[in-house]
Amino acid sequence: SGALLLALPPSPCPPASLLFPMADLTELEDATAPRAAICGGDPSASAYLFAVWNLIVRPPRARYTGDELAGEFPRRRFSVAGRPALRSDFELTNPRGMRLVCTLFEPLMKIDGAEARRGAGERACVVFCHDACSSRLAGFKLVPVLLPLNIAVACFDFSGSGASDGEYVSYGFHERDDLSCVVDHLRMTHGFSRIALWGQTMGAAAALMHAVRDPTLAGLVADSPFIDVWTLLTEVCTNVVSLPPWLVRPYLHMVRLVIQSKANFDICDVSPEAYAKKCFIPALFLHGEMNTFVAPRHSERLQKSYGGE
């Protein structure tokens, strides 16, 4: 494979304890009795089962205020590195009828002293796809980096995340359709001719799964992706929950059934690796060496199996 892999030095990243808040299990004591029968009458075991499936479909939701959304760029018109720019906040509806909140930052050019958008053939945009515990705000950091290069930045909250509609996340299964909705809007309404994707973990999974059906994309950056949800959950159960190895597989089968019932998707269908083999757009894989939730070997394996450059 010609895809490029970069290992990043240690940097701040969510610890496993944040993504899998075991301390919260003490709050479930009154609610575990009905689930105890699922796990052989052991309330603590049923609490673990609840925590495992809840980790995937309902991790801590990133909520933010209006001031936080405004951030460093509260005005519709602003400047970055001395260059004029335009901010637009808008909403879309995904194929499941859910509202998606979006923000677009566009570089402008000056023509005879007036500010204007670039021509359709010159318009490039990077779509930022956040992680399961994050929101569109995480992509705002790309604005001062990309806008001076005449590249727009589009950020949005996946369904089930941030201020968008939806109760659950699906680690890429439904999120790829959200992404498709945003990309189509950017092309048809805003006239962007070159669009690339930048995704983090869940967002990287959604980007990989979407890229297969959109070969016209200009490129893809996959930051700390996982090979598939089953493998990720196996590692979480072993390393975070500390389940004995013989119990992991039966637990995951129960988790799979609960998620199918609650969130309407099958964790066995979420396999970025299977899609990566059929992806041919230029790609860059990034992974922090000290990532404690998704090990760097996930990116290494994806990079080796990637079908494109």
Is 9's pLDDT higher than 80?
no
Exposed, middle or buried by CB within 10 Å (0-12, 13-18, 19+), for 43?
middle
Residue 209: what pLDDT? 98
Which class is 66-228+270-305 in CATH?
alpha beta
Q: What is the dihedral of CA 304, 9, 128, 292, to 10 degrees?
A: 80
Residue 218: what pLDDT? 97
Contact 221/197 with Cβ under 8 angstroms? yes
Is 32's pLDDT higher than 50?
no
What separation in angstroms does the CA of 24 have from each of 19, 59, 134, 167, 214? 11, 12, 19, 19, 41
Confidence label for 157 from pLDDT (cuts 50, 70 and 90):
very high
Residues 259-284 have pLDDT tens digits of 999 899 999 999 999 999 999 999 99
- Of the two residues 131 and 118, the one the predictor is more confident about is 131
* Residues facing residue 105 across a β-bridge: 87, 153
Confidence label for 243 from pLDDT (cuts 50, 70 and 90):
confident
% of residues, the chain, pLDDT over 90 = 68
Contact 101/162 with Cβ under 8 angstroms? yes
Q: How do 109-111 and 114-116 pair as beta strands?
A: antiparallel
* Distance from chain centroid for Cα 265: 16
- Low-confidence winner among 132-146, 187-201, 206-220, 225-239 (lowest mean pLDDT): 225-239
Is 40's pLDDT higher than 80?
no
Domain ranges of the chain: 22-59+231-263, 66-228+270-305
Give me the amino acid identity at 198: W
Q: What is the DSSP letter of 265?
A: -
Query: Nearest CA to 138 among 125, 153, 152, 150?
Result: 153
Rounded CA Rg of the chain: 20
Cα–Cα distance measured from residue 131 to residue 296, given in angstroms and rounded to the nearest whole number: 16
Residue listed under structure tokens 């673990």: 48
Cα–Cα distance measured from residue 135 to residue 29, given in angstroms and rounded to the nearest whole number: 30
Confidence label for 305 from pLDDT (cuts 50, 70 and 90):
very high
Query: Nearest CA to 133 among 17, 263, 19?
Result: 19
Residue 122: what pLDDT? 74
Is 39's pLDDT higher than 80?
no
Cα–Cα distance measured from residue 54 to residue 20, given in angstroms and rounded to the nearest whole number: 9
pTM of the complete model: 0.85
